[in-house]
Each structure stands twice: as structure tokens, then as C-alpha cells.
Amino acid sequence: MTLETRSLSILPRALEILESSFHGLPLFEPSVNIEKLETVLLEVADRMKDNYPYPHPQYIGQMLKPPHPVARLAYTLSLWINPNNHALDGGRASSAMEKEAVARIGEMFGWKECLGHLCSGGTMANLEALWISKRLKPGSKIVASSQAHYTHSRICSVLEIPFDSIPTDCNAKMDLESLEKALESENIGTVVVTMGTTATGSFDPLPSILELRKNYGFRIHADAAYGGYFTLANNLGQQTRDILNHVNQVDSIVVDPHKHGLQPYGCGCVLFRDPTVGIHYKHDSPYTYFTSDELHLGEISLECSRPGSSAVALWATQKLLPLEQNGEFARGLETIRETALALFDFLVNESRFVTALAPELDILIWGLNGKRASEISSYSNDFFELTAERGLHIAKANLPRSILEPHWPDIVWDQDTVTCLRSCIMKPEVTGWIDDIKRIMIEAADAALAKR
């Protein structure tokens, strides 16, 4: 069975333990019309069939990774309480679990004493980091690379911060000369360093950007929404390893537990190296902070109500799979990366395909061998359909000529972007399916080439 359901049998026992916390109170039996509920739920199951098969190893398309069963169960269990991690009044246990889970993430990046919290995702987490940047460097610009997530320019527009994008080199990394030119001529308060771009998983050159910081004194925000957890993996390229080894020197970090951290959606995390930035969040809630003098997470978060269940799920996952090098969680990431490298090797050696940048993480970019930019693009569109028909699901990405041209010097540039094929491996289980994936890719490539 593709959907794991065996672990569900633990839930009633866990609920009994939770139920015992109500023993001091008069008996209360909530009523529910099971028949009507069942009718609706079965209809929901039917509606939910209209999806790509995300949990299956033959889905290697977008950034979609099933949550760990322990995360799913802990989340579900906690919904009987439905804690709100805004104030301790609404979720004492889950707030404590959030503080512990976030502290472990900070330690993963080498920060013993940082300030951080969970939020709805990478977008909100980045928004909080850039909002603090604006508070600390008022009137200055924020820059990110042209391959940074589009959210940065949009957040800057929401926060009314001037924003510029810095070109990348042919490896989709921020171009240092262009950055230095911008630093010389403009008042740049914050440089966003992407650690694992969304399109290609590329890392901006943090060590050199840290050198530039000595001269120009800007803040550095690391957007490690996708790539952050890979700091635990022992099989990264030397350059990527070196970049991650410097992440403790940045000012703020974003990582998405709902990307590579085995969590359901609704779990991003923002961390600040200097805990005193918490003063910028200061506000007086007239309603909520009465039951304790301890820190209420709503005092250091822009969002008010937040799902305590997210914190419970993350805590449970980190309890089962601690964030440590050489641990089981790290091994999962290493397996994913090995699989990406094996598939990249196949694509490099198979004449039907062309590759450009080598994967820094687990994201592959390739195309079918063609003579013109437009031809490769239409091959990608065909290949995407032809693999899906054969039960293999991949994704596509538009990449600019500036990145691809040095890799593909012989093609005719009849358009300025190429639709490439893209695959986020994400699941360790894919490793057992490499041969099936290769076979379908060859069949689909032959079918695509035969159509011309």
C-alpha cells in the first residue's frame, strides 16, 4: 500500500493518555452524528483522489515530501486539544515544545542562544527576517540574487523596502562582482543569501559575501528554506559544505521544516542570531498574556494565532529523528543526495539528454538533446506529458540564457529562456526505484524524439 496506515493503531492509546488529563472534571460526552460524518468523509476521500501521487517514489517533481508518520500522528493527536501557540493561555505544552524544537534547529546551525519561532512557512519566515532588517537598517536597500525566491521582492514591496536583484553566474549563484558594484554605489542594508535556490538548489557564495561584509557592513539573511537541513549531510560537494559551515555567521536564517524536515504544510522557521531583536516585536496585547510571566511566543512573532499542532508534530519528529550528523535523519538526506547524483550521472552519460549545472542538493535540471532553445523547450513540454502517462512525475523550470549558455555553447538561441526538466528527489525511498525511473525516462525520451 502506498499510504501508510499501520501507525494509526497507536492513536487510540495516545488519546486515552490525553483523555486522562480531564479526569478531575465532570463527565462530558461530545455528540457527533457518525453516519453523516462518514458520508462527508468518504466524499472527501473521493475528491482527494484528484492529485499527483506525491507519496509514491515515482513522483519526483515539485518540492513535495510526505510528512513522517510520527508528525502526522502527533499533529492529529494534538488536534483534540487544538492548542494555539500565540500565548501560554492557549497552549502551554505546545509552546514549550516549540521552544525546545526551535532551539534544536538553532543548534543545528551552530547557534546556542538565538531567538526564533515557527510560522506558517518560508514566506512568512522571510517576511519577519526582512522586517527586522528594515527596523535595524532603515532607509537602505535589500538585495537578493536573480535566482532567489520571488517572495523576497514581493515581501519588500509589502514592507515598502527598496529592492534590487543581483545577477547570477552560470551556476545560478549570486555574482560577486555585480554584488560589489552594487555595494559601492548604493546604500545596501541587507544581502539575502540563498542557500539552495528553488529552481536548481544552488548556494550563493556566503564565505566571499562575509568578506565583503567586513568592508561594507550590511546584514546577511540566509534563506535556507529548502537547503538548510542538508547541513547535516556528509556527502555534499566541498564548496556547498564550506558555505554551510559559515552559516552561523549570518544574522538571520529561514528554514522550512515543511520542505525537508518531514512536516505537514504550515511549518516554517525564522531564527535570529541576536536575541535582542525581540524588542522590535514588543506590543501589549490587552487580551492574552495574563497567566504567566514566562515568554509567550506571541510576543516574538508577527502572526498571532498559530497552530500549536505544528510545534507538537515537529517536536515529535525531532524526538524520533534528532537533528544530528550521522543520525537516521541525516542518513535520509544523504540517501536523497546519492540518488540525485546517480540520476545526474545517468543523464550526463545518456546521449538523449543534456544537463547543465550539477546538483548541489537533490534538484536535477536537464533537457532533451536539441539544436535550438525553442526545440529543447518543446521537448521538455512533451517529455513532461510522456513521463506522466507512464506513471513518472517530474517538473519543469524556465531558466535564462545567461545561466545555460556557457553549459550549452552550441545551441541556437532563438529565445532567451529554456523550459528545462526539473526534479526534486526529496524522498529516500526513490533510491529503490532508480532503474524504473531510468527506464521510463528513456522510453519517454524516445517517444518525444519520435514525435518530431
Q: Which parts of this chain interact with ligand PLP (CB under 6 A)?
A: 121-123, 126, 149, 151, 194, 198, 223, 225-226, 256, 268
Instruction: Tell the smallest beta-carbon distance from residue 203 to ligand PLP (Å).
Output: 11
Which one, 297 or 426, has the nearer CB to ligand PLP? 426
Please name the residue that has the C-alpha cell 527576517: 129
Q: CA–CA separation, 277 vs 181, rounded Å?
A: 30
Instruction: Provide the grid cell at 42.
Output: 468518504
Which one, 123 or 168, has the nearer CB to ligand PLP? 123
Instruction: Tell the smallest beta-carbon distance from residue 122 to ligand PLP (Å).
Output: 2
Which one, 144 or 373, has the nearer CB to ligand PLP? 144
Which one, 203 or 408, has the nearer CB to ligand PLP? 203
Which one, 257 or 370, has the nearer CB to ligand PLP? 257
Which one, 377 or 423, has the nearer CB to ligand PLP? 423
SS3 220: strand
Angle at 155 between CA 180 and CA 360, to 5 degrees: 60
Instruction: Provide the grid cell at 243.
Output: 558555505
Which one, 175 or 223, has the nearer CB to ligand PLP? 223
Contact, 24 vs 399, CB < 8 A?
no
Q: Transcribe 384-407 into DSSP letters.
A: HHHHHHTT-B-EEEEEEHHHHTTT
Which one, 149 or 422, has the nearer CB to ligand PLP? 149
Query: Helices 238-245 and 206-216, interaxial angle, to 10°?
Result: 40
Angle at 262 between CA 258 and CA 266, to 5 degrees: 25
Instruction: Tell the smallest beta-carbon distance from residue 151 to ligand PLP (Å).
Output: 5
Contact, 163 vs 174, CB < 8 A?
no
In sequence order, which residues have a C-beta less than 8 Å from that of residue 242 and are 6 or more positions away?
A: 207
Contact, 429 vs 57, CB < 8 A?
yes
Q: CA–CA separation, 63 vs 338, rounded Å?
A: 17
Q: Which residue is nearest to ligand PLP (CB)?
A: 122
Q: CA–CA separation, 393 vs 179, rounded Å?
A: 37
Which one, 90 or 268, has the nearer CB to ligand PLP? 268
Instruction: Tell the smallest beta-carbon distance from residue 160 to ligand PLP (Å).
Output: 20
Q: Transcribe 150-213 into DSSP letters.
A: THHHHHHHHHT--EEEE-B-TTSSB-HHHHHHHHHHS-EEEEEEEBS-TTT--B--HHHHHHHH
Instruction: Provide the grid cell at 84.
Output: 494555539
SS3 366: strand
Instruction: Tell the smallest beta-carbon distance from residue 20 to ligand PLP (Å).
Output: 36
Which one, 227 or 298, has the nearer CB to ligand PLP? 227
Which one, 189 or 228, has the nearer CB to ligand PLP? 228
End-to-end CA distance of the chain: 39
Instruction: Tell the smallest beta-carbon distance from residue 300 to ligand PLP (Å).
Output: 20
CA 337 to chain centroid, in Å, comes to: 15
Question: Which amino acid would we find at residue 441?
Answer: M
In sequence order, which residues have a C-beta less than 8 Å from that of residue 123 and are 6 or more positions away?
A: 151, 155, 268
Angle at 178 between CA 176 and CA 181, to 5 degrees: 110
Which one, 56 or 258, has the nearer CB to ligand PLP? 258
Instruction: Tell the smallest beta-carbon distance from residue 49 to ligand PLP (Å).
Output: 24
Instruction: Tell the smallest beta-carbon distance from residue 326 to ligand PLP (Å).
Output: 26
Instruction: Tell the smallest beta-carbon distance from residue 123 to ligand PLP (Å).
Output: 3
Q: Phi and psi at residue 334, in whole multiples of 5°?
A: -65, -40
Question: Which amino acid would we find at residue 125?
Answer: A
